[in-house]
Structure 1
Amino acid sequence: MMKNDDVLILGSGIAALQLSSLLNKDLNVRILTKEKMRTANSYLAQGGIAAAVGTDDHPSKHVADTLEAGRYHNNREAVEEIINAAPGLIKFIAEQGSVFDKNQNGELLLGMEGAHSEKRIVHGGGDATGKNMVEFLITTLKDNITIEENVFAYELLLNAEKRCIGVKAKMPDGTIKNYYSRNTILATGGCGQLFTYTSNAHTVSGDGIAMAYIAGAEVTDMEFIQFHPTLLYLNGETKGLISEAVRGEGAILVTEDGTRIMEGVHPQKDLAPRHVVSQKIYEYLKNGHNVFLDIRNIENFSQRFPSITAICDENGLQLSDGKIPVAPGSHFLMGGIKTDLSGRTSINGLYAIGEAACTGLHGANRLASNSLLEGLYMGEKLSSWLNTAVNEDYPRLEAARPYTPYEKVSLPTKQEIKNSMMERVGIVRNEVNLKKQKTWLDTFNIHQIDDLKAYSFDEMTKIFMLVIASLITDSALKRTESRGGHFRSDYPMEDDQHWLKKSIIHKNSWGMGSNHEHVETALAT
């Protein structure tokens, strides 16, 4: 009989790889990926990693910017701990290899991004920071780590004590395989593919969060979704991310006639927090205008932003015109599986890190380039926990559960889910559209599903998308205010009296689609 893994990791982004690279060599570690190792949002990340390493900067400034961007919904303890750790994390990596861009004196080059008060964005390869980091971390993986690609994990295995003891997965040939582990880590990313327009990798559809919710883990803050203001937008489709660093270097958002759309909207104009910029671009697009990034102020654009230049070239856009057509799309989920700062969830033996987790760092809206930072921090913190944990064996016996034969439910297409979410639960929300979406989602009866093994990869993905769509819609309907990435046109103002520091917690107590929610005050004020 195969030994239990000590650590089983689902996902291959920066949080997963940071964790893997720092685990003790005597631990048996297995990484499962839905597709390939490099198919992850982290690999696509352009902007960089935020850290107060400049001579005029200080972590207290970074904390203040994070709280402001998060509209004070953040867990302040998490913010302070992660932000204060940032300079040390950057220094450690910089000493290990040539990951970050430096000047001729060997000093880190620092960029500016929206809602930051100082230049503090450490980047690599110009606008290929995520790729640089992932490739670097892959080189640090030790031989105690087994990697299996193209494995679709679809169910968490729980024993009679409700402890997570591994996952159930479907293999490429359709066979079912159980992976048993003393410690199971979800590092599966967010849920960007629930919306028509997104910067996310095509695999990022909320699988890990849905699995955790179905198993009974607490999930929180699902209404807070960041829409990146500037995705390359051609012929009605988004083609890739245009980093916020472009505006940090001086690009200006304009209409076809040159009108500057952020004038008079926010004191930081084009560098306003992302939800403000996204809402304004969306408003102009809905009114029939086109919106562009005017990049004529940026010298040597192709050298500073080689990845963006390549995306534009691949799509036939001539940068010599000096304008890049843009539209907002889903980019980052601030919510997710509720965890502490070591990644522990409400289920014993189950952990979550990276975008799949909600530590409270981001609050209602993530500050630019804080996400790779969080992944590095959580990977390191969880490695410390697991390296010193007592790894006892647990019986492989899964908890018995009733089984009732059923017919497979009919499912919508992925595009129908995406379009309905974008239109009704996207950048601008209201009660009428949210209730309409809730009614539509309820028609698919996913609560009737008892076992996913009869479903294909594609069908499983759609079921998980429907679970996540329901959580987002329910949360957005419940929060009767606007805050950060959650904007209600019928409740356009922040309501500190009723909602400040309060989170909506979802916990599934029975059935695939059951949704029990409550509101709880945040841990830290």
Structure 2
Amino acid sequence: MVTTEVIVIGSGIAALTTALEASERKHVILITKSELRHSNSYLAQGGIAAALSSQDGVSLHKKDTLSAGQHYNKVKAVEKLVQKAPSAIADLIRSGMQFDRDHDGSLMLGMEGAHSVRRILHSHGDGTGRYMMEHLIECLKSTSVQVIENEAAVELIIGEDESCIGVKTLDRSGKLAVFHAERTVLATGGCGSLYRYTSNSQTVSGDGIALAFKAGAKVRDMEFIQFHPTLLFKNNKAAGLVSEAVRGDGALLVTEAGLPIMEGVHHLKDLAPRHIVAQTIFSYIQRGEKVFLDISMIKDFKNRFPTVSSLCEKNGVDLQLGKIPVAPGNHFLMGGIEVDERGQTSVPSLYAVGEVACTGVHGANRLASNSLLEGLVFGKALGGLLAHMQSRELPKEKEGTQGFAHLASLPDLPVLQEKLMNEAGIVRTGAGLTRLKNYLETFDIESLLDMDVSGRSLTEITKANTIIVAWLIAESALTRTESRGGHFRSDHPSEDDSLWLKKSVILACQDVKNRVKGRWRYEYIEA
């Protein structure tokens, strides 16, 4: 058993930034189930948004964020994000991070969907996430942060006072370890790999959400999932992301015959909010028509977008033809573990940051390039908070019986991916969501929540977690009988402000240690 002051679970921008800031005064252990370079942050082709030009301002960045989020956002969270963005970027540059610059040495600012001005910083064209991660990994080397790779968090430990006092982990050999900590941070990302088509790293499967829910934390807005409009689509498979910056540089979505599909759909056309573009592409694909990204107007495409170019070449797409085949896929979760303005979950001493957390900053649909920014801004804030917290004496672990779950019948991931894509994907219906919910409940959600991780393989635990998270998505999407942002119900296609705008569905796992049936409930709070 190891005891420390702060444990951070995850390996993306939010995890590393939190660990770096907290380590200035605390001993930090960072634990990741794979490696530091295996995260959505590392894969991020898009840039990072900040109001830095004379044509821009934090009020305009705020307006664009609220508009993309369908005004479902928590305004205070949005204000924190946009106000802290310029100084966070300045700190990053002072620490040695290199962003792309124009010939005169000024920062090069790009345009992406739903932004009203150019405010997107990039590094090496479409390699922003990778280069930011490499920079933070380098910074990590000069700290006392202890990094543990290839060790998965499988259960949060709850104390007699109902606070989180650490985590149990499982390494690749199947060895179970116990880490006690004064404060524990979940920075595990979203749940993209639960869908057949996704831009996400295959390691991002919703583990942190399942861990928190099983520990009694509140989870909210799980119905709001952003589907990126343009994943490279070859041989009926999604092969990776084609950055929105490509459309920002003028590329157009067209049919095989070359007809532009966004004409007359939205005044921003190809740079409309992502849910509108994704739904439009999906409607064409459902009719049996292929959709392409026409890049013929972009000069020197290979140098401008080296990551996308390499992806296309790897998958046999001839860029000289000027068209990239695309389809929408899961990209980002707006919901997650509910946190307050400090990153605190409903479980004392348990925090969440980044995509796994629901701060309310993204509302019903994330504005492009606000995700790396969220990890940076909220990670810095949470890390700074943890660094200055007083030490606490850890209570004893809370006693509780754990049940036995029969896992032999749990589906393999491809089966679940297909069902989620079909029933809880870009276009949803009450009938489809009910089918999905009923299917998931055949695996006894109660039993999966009770499962003792001792003696279980990581594969078994992961399967159980995926069922829990899929159920949260299905239940939330079924409950919201309107369409808003990343949640589109064809049987309830309109927004209903009178019923939903000021309300938020929260699912809370209740009485975790007492084995009471029906431990989840819905609460409705002011958004």
TM-score of the aligned structures, taking structure 1 as reference length: 0.97
Query: Quick check: 1:501 aligned with 2:502?
Result: yes
Counterpart of 2:465 in structure 1 is: 464
Secondary structure of 1:16 counterpart:
helix
Q: Could you say what secondary structure the match of 2:400 adopts? A: coil
Classify the secondary structure of the residue corresponding to 1:499: helix
Report the alpha carbon displacement of residue 384 of structure 1 after superposing the two structures with TM. 1.7
Gap runs ≥5 in structure 2: none
Partner-residue secondary structure (3-state), 2:397: coil
Match of 1:382 in 2: 382
Q: Please state how far the C-alpha of 1:413 moved relative to its aligned partner.
A: 1.2
Q: Give the 3-state SS of the residue equivalent to 1:331 in structure 2.
A: strand
Secondary structure of the residue that 1:368 maps to in structure 2?
coil
1:175 is displaced (CA, Å) by 1.6
Shift of 1:343: 1.0
Q: Aligned in 2, Cα 1:98/1:211: closer, same or farther, shift over 3 Å?
A: closer
* Residues 274-313 of structure 1 aligned to structure 2 (within 5 Å): 274-313=274-313
| Matched residue type, 1:472 | I
Counterpart in 2 of 1:252? Answer: 252
1:273 aligns to what? 273
Cα distance in 2 for partners of 1:496, 1:156 equals 37
Q: Which amino acid aligns with 1:148?
A: I
Question: Cα offset for 1:348?
Answer: 0.7
* Residue deviations 1:111-155 (CA, integer Å, cap 9, x gap): 000000000001111001101111111111134111111101110
Q: Secondary structure at the match of 1:152?
A: strand
Tell me how far 1:519 sits from its aligned partner.
3.8
Counterpart Cα distance in 1 of 2:177 and 2:222:
31
What is the letter of the counterpart of residue 494 of structure 1? E
**Change in CA separation of 1:24 and 1:264 when aligned onto 2, cut-off 3 Å:** same
Cα displacement string for residues 448-480 of structure 1 (whole angstroms, at most 9, x for unaligned residues)? 243123332122111111111111101100001
- Residue 438 of structure 1 and its aligned partner are, at CA, apart by 0.7
| Aligned-partner Cα distance in 1 for 2:405–2:315 | 47
Quote the residue 2:521 is aligned against.
517
Q: Between 96-105 and 198-207, report the one with greater CA deviation.
A: 96-105
**CA contact 2:97–2:132 (8 Å) conserved in 1:** no
**1:158 to 1:98, Cα distance in 2 relative to 1, 3 A:** closer
1:490 pairs with 2:491: yes
Residue identity matched to 2:520? H
In the alignment, structure 1 segments of 5+ residues that lack a partner are none
Structure 2: which amino acid aligns with 1:490?
A: D
SS at match of 2:434: helix
Do 1:74 and 1:501's aligned partners in 2 also have CA atoms closer than 8 Å? Answer: no
User: Could you list the per-position Cα deviations for residues 12-54 of structure 1 after superposition, in whole angstroms to 9, with x for gaps in the alignment?
Assistant: 1001111122224442110111111110000000110111111
Residue 221 to residue 403, structure 1, CA distance change in 2 (3 Å): closer
Return the TM-score normalized by structure 2.
0.97
Helix, strand or coil at the partner of 1:140 = helix
1:67 and 1:519 map into 2 onto residues whose CA distance is: 24
Q: Please report the RMSD computed on the Cα atoms of aligned residues, expressed in angstroms.
A: 1.4
Cα offset, 1:502, TM superposition: 1.2
Tell me the distance in 2 between the aligned counterparts of 1:246 and 1:325. Answer: 13
Shift of 1:96: 2.0
Residue aligning to 2:184:
184
CA contact (8 A) 1:250 1:297 kept: yes
Deviations 1:433-456 (A, max 9, x none): 011111100111132243123332
- Give the whole-Å Cα distance in 1 for the aligned partners of 2:454 and 2:346: 26
Match of 1:355 in 2: 355
Letter in 2 for 1:76: V
Amino acid at match of 2:499: H
Q: 2:100 is paired with a residue of what secondary structure?
A: coil
Cα distance in structure 1, aligned partners of 2:486 and 2:71: 12
Q: Is the 8 A contact 2:187 2:208 kept in 1?
A: yes
C-alpha distance after superposition, 1:373-425 (max 9, x if no partner): 11001111112211110012213x31100244564452011111000000001
Query: Is residue 2:342 matched to residue 1:338?
Result: no
Q: How big is the shift at 1:351?
A: 0.3
How far apart, CA to CA, are the structure 2 residues paired with 1:406 and 1:260?
52
Structure 1 residues 235-262: Cα deviation after superposition (integer angstroms, max 9, x where no partner)? 0001110000000000000010111111
What are the equivalent positions in structure 2 for 1:396-475 lying under 5 Å apart? 397-404=396-403, 407-408=406-407, 410-449=409-448, 450=450, 451-475=452-476
Query: What is aligned with 2:319?
Result: 319
Instruction: Give the conservation status (yes or no) of the 8 Å contact 1:409–1:444.
Output: no
Residue 266 of structure 1, CA deviation: 0.4
**Residues 367-378 of structure 1 mapped to structure 2, 5 A cutoff:** 367-378=367-378
CA distance in structure 2 between the aligned counterparts of 1:510 and 1:422, rounded to whole angstroms: 32
Contact 1:72 1:501 in 2 (8 A): no
> For the Cα contact (< 8 Å) 2:155–2:169, is it kept in 1?
yes
Aligned to 1:476: 477
For the Cα contact (< 8 Å) 2:227–2:486, is it kept in 1?
A: yes
SS of 1:196 mapped into structure 2: coil
Check 1:407–1:126 CA distance in 2 against 1; reply closer, same or farther (3 A cut).
Answer: closer
Q: In the TM superposition, what is the alpha-carbon distance from 1:516 to its structure 2 partner?
A: 2.0
- How many pairs align? 521
Cα distance in 2 between the residues matched to 1:7 and 1:30: 6
The 1-side partners of 2:403 and 2:104 are apart by 68
- Tell me which residue corresponds to 2:81: 82
* Distance of 1:203 and 1:40 partners within structure 2: 7
- Cα offsets for 1:470-524 (capped at 9, x unmatched): 111011000010000000001001000100121100110145995523242335x
Identity %: 50
- Deviation of the 1:95 alpha carbon: 2.2
Amino acid at match of 2:350: L
Residues 264-303 of structure 1 show CA distances to partners (whole Å, capped at 9, x for unaligned) of: 0000000000000000111100100000000011111111
Judge conservation of contact 2:24–2:387 (CA < 8 Å) in 1. no
Task: Show the 5 A alignment for 1:119-268.
Answer: 119-141=118-140, 142-268=142-268
In 1, are the aligned partners of 2:25 and 2:387 still within 8 Å (CA)?
Answer: no
Structure 2 CA distance for aligned equivalents of residues 408 and 415 of structure 1: 17
